[in-house]
Chain A
Amino acid sequence: MSRIQTTFATLKQEGKTALVPYITAGDPHPNHTVNLMHTLVKFGADMIELGVPFSDPMADGPVIQRASERALKHKVGLTAVLQMVKDFRAVDQKTPIILMGYANPIEAIGAKAFADRAKAADVDGVITVDYPPEECADYVQELRSRDIDPIFLLSPTTEPSRVDLIVKQASGFVYYVSLKGVTGAANLDINEVSGRVADIRKKTNLPVGVGFGIRDAVTAKATAAIADAVVVGSRIVTTIESSTDENLLSNVAALMTELKTAVDAAKQ
């Protein structure tokens, strides 16, 4: 079993929902990233979504765009991100790491070479925002043959027939984008999300993660009640953005504690 599958299986036995924080690698400075990752785990992260900075993050709102720009100022690209995962793994061999990013950094080194290097760094899953399943069959094959989970997004506009197509390609879990728009956009409608998640479950046994628009304990708890994983991105990046070098880790720890309490309370 992959780390992602093991994590979901364990949480299911415990009757819990996974909390999956997102940070952009290299934000606010590459020296902080591995420490931040350990802090996220210490204060409740069941998995980590690690953003690969990109010059043209088309699916991201202003908060994560700025995080990408801060990281790129320090020349943090895909190669540097993979090194950060290696460094993290020297201490933590248990927590799944999911890379999230765009197609072009992967195109730049090639699908096969990327899969080799991701495996060598012990990456567990990859979300590639602008690779819809129709355009990346070879890439998915390269990942799956190395037991790296290709994780695909489903959106409120995804037609039921496409859900079938996507869940066939996906492994690890599927990620339901809870609203139309970019990351960090408006509040989510929990009733609508609940209906869509139920529809997705009719088509797949894969765990269903939900993200986009989860910004506090209330929305985290409501989402945790219906999903297998709750992904929180822009809220964490906002906290990182407004912190100093001195209080960065403690601010993130405080936010994670609040989110973890909310997520754990959902199914009790």
Chain B
Amino acid sequence: MQLYDMPDVRGHFGQFGGTFVAETLVEALDELRLMYEKYRHDPVFLAEYAYDLKHFVGRPSPIYHAKRLSDKVGGAQIYLKREDLNHTGAHKINNTIGQALLAKRMGKPRVIAETGAGQHGVATATIAARMGLECVVYMGSEDIKRQAPNVFRMKLLGATVVPVESGSKTLKDALNEAMRDWVTNVHNTFYIIGTVAGPHPYPMMVRDFQAIIGIEAKQQMQEMVGRQPDAVIACVGGGSNAMGIFYPYIDVPNVRLIGVEAAGHGLETGMHAAPLTTNSPVGVLHGNRTYLMQDNDGNIIETHSVSAGLDYPGVGPEHAWLKDIKRAEYVAITDDDAMAAFHNLCRTEGIIPALESSHALAYAEKMAKTMRKDEIILVNLSGRGDKDINTVAKLANITL
């Protein structure tokens, strides 16, 4: 029996979540909410979703015992949930398939998306090509510079990539611009949000489509080691890969759930993207109420992280809730520690992780050292690092 039953009918997780949007979008969100209610338990819909996950994405993604890394760190055994092996290279595709199937059923020929690191943009462009939908992706011009390979992939897949020049020119501004597009083209357009943020029903719907990660992990851990891990660790920007692996574990006792935010140059410098770890004030942005990095006037402040996918001033409302009810813990890892963990995994295990996932790896290493050798940490390796090679080369002074 599922003991945890969130959100409420209007999308609230306690004081968090909700539907804070301009009036023009209310009807579109009502329509989406009703359609999702209709299909979320529909056997034909779920069968189509499952088929694509298996045959198009390559699920289930394996769990891998990172034995050499565990030995090197010295302490708990580190296991990796290999979302990096998914088609398109990250967990993002799980969600875009689900939402694109809904878009088809709602008769919307055009999909739009926001993207930070480009992984959600690529996953949206991919499924749009696969289903014959027009695709427009909004991306901050700063992110376009640091994630050039993903921009090229989206273009190859037939998507239009629109550079966003407003505000800080990163993920939050891309989301603003996608919202503006949606308000204008709401009659023929489905907005595929990539994270567990946005107005209801997005945080719930994206979580549900990503929950396959945790559902598989529970079964795989049981088969592989005969028990569940002592801790599950995932990185948190908006928080979709973390919600995906956490959600099926919420009701499982004695499994610690740990979300890792980006500490950037260090929490004390202010140049980070860690609203939960730093106890930022609660506010309203992008359609929901959550913890938000902001100034005294309620304006959103600029964030910093070496990984574009974590560079977001807010966090999904369900994470805010899990923090408040103390079911999950939130910590932060600096750019430098994430880079070290990145190189460590490359050299010890032959796996190039995404910079986002490297934050989760870095915390797993820290924590493993304090644990016994028979204890187990499961890390959600949410994506692969091919997209990050230019950033890493620059930071590590490697000539390509």
Residues of A in contact with B (beta carbons under 8 Å apart): 53-62, 65, 69, 72, 75, 77-79, 102-109, 129-132, 134-135, 152-159, 162, 166, 177, 180-182, 185
B186 partner, pick from A65, A108, A130, A157, beta carbons under 8 A: A157
- Considering only residues 18-55 of chain B, those with a C-beta below 8 Å from chain A are 18-28, 30
The stretch from B219-227, B276-284, B333-341 touching chain A is B276-284
**Cross-chain contact B18 with A135 (CB below 8 angstroms):** yes
**Cross-chain contact A107 with B24 (CB below 8 angstroms):** no
| Complex interface: chain A residues within 8 A of B176 (CB) | 56-58
**Cross-chain contact A157 with B297 (CB below 8 angstroms):** no
Residue-wise, chain B 269-307 has the 8 Å CB interface mask toward A (1 for contact) of 000000000000111111101001011111111000000
Most chain A beta carbons < 10 A, residue from B22, B27, B281: B22
Residue B92 is within 8 A (CB to CB) of chain A in the complex: no
Q: What are 7 residue pairs bridging A and B, where the CB atoms are less than 8 Å apart in the complex?
A: A54-B299, A58-B176, A58-B180, A104-B299, A132-B19, A158-B27, A180-B187
Say yes or no: A56-B300 contact (C-beta < 8 A), given A103-B284, A135-B19: yes
Residue B231 is within 8 A (CB to CB) of chain A in the complex: no
**Cross-chain contact B298 with A77 (CB below 8 angstroms):** yes
| Complex interface: chain B residues within 8 A of A75 (CB) | 297
B114 to chain A, nearest CB (A): 12
| Complex interface: chain A residues within 8 A of B295 (CB) | 77
**Cross-chain contact A77 with B183 (CB below 8 angstroms):** no
B23 partner, pick from A61, A79, A155, beta carbons under 8 A: A155
| Complex interface: chain A residues within 8 A of B185 (CB) | 180
B276 to chain A, nearest CB (A): 17
Q: Is the interface of A mostly helix, strand, loop or mixed?
A: loop
Given contacts A130-B20, A157-B24, A177-B24, 16 further A-B contacts (CB under 8 A): A54-B298, A56-B300, A59-B183, A75-B297, A103-B20, A103-B283, A105-B297, A105-B298, A108-B283, A108-B294, A108-B296, A129-B22, A130-B284, A134-B19, A157-B28, A181-B180
A185 to chain B, nearest CB (A): 6
| Complex interface: chain A residues within 8 A of B184 (CB) | 180-182, 185
**Cross-chain contact A158 with B298 (CB below 8 angstroms):** no
Say yes or no: A58-B297 contact (C-beta < 8 A), given A157-B27, A158-B27: no
B297 to chain A, nearest CB (A): 3
Say yes or no: A108-B19 contact (C-beta < 8 A), given A56-B285, A162-B26: no
B298 partner, pick from A69, A108, A131, A162, beta carbons under 8 A: A108
| Complex interface: chain B residues within 8 A of A69 (CB) | 166-167
| Complex interface: chain B residues within 8 A of A155 (CB) | 22-24, 26
**Cross-chain contact A131 with B297 (CB below 8 angstroms):** no
| Complex interface: chain B residues within 8 A of A181 (CB) | 24, 180, 183-184
| Complex interface: chain B residues within 8 A of A105 (CB) | 297-299
A180 partner, pick from B183, B289, B294, beta carbons under 8 A: B183
Interchain Cβ contacts within 8 Å, total number: 127
| Complex interface: chain A residues within 8 A of B183 (CB) | 59, 180-182
A121 to chain B, nearest CB (A): 15
> How far is A157 from B295 in the complex, measured between Cα atoms in Å?
34
> How far is A157 from B24 in the complex, measured between Cα atoms in Å?
6
> How far is A21 from B287 in the complex, measured between Cα atoms in Å?
27
Residue B172 is within 8 A (CB to CB) of chain A in the complex: yes
B169 to chain A, nearest CB (A): 12
Residue B212 is within 8 A (CB to CB) of chain A in the complex: no
Closest 3 CB pairs of A and B: A77-B297, A108-B298, A105-B298
A158 partner, pick from B23, B167, B296, B301, beta carbons under 8 A: B23
> How far is A163 from B335 in the complex, measured between Cα atoms in Å?
50
B182 to chain A, nearest CB (A): 10
Residue B179 is within 8 A (CB to CB) of chain A in the complex: yes
Residue B10 is within 8 A (CB to CB) of chain A in the complex: yes
**Closest A residue to B292 using CB positions:** A104
**Cross-chain contact A65 with B166 (CB below 8 angstroms):** yes
**Cross-chain contact A77 with B26 (CB below 8 angstroms):** no
**Cross-chain contact B284 with A107 (CB below 8 angstroms):** yes
| Complex interface: chain B residues within 8 A of A131 (CB) | 20
**Closest A residue to B173 using CB positions:** A56
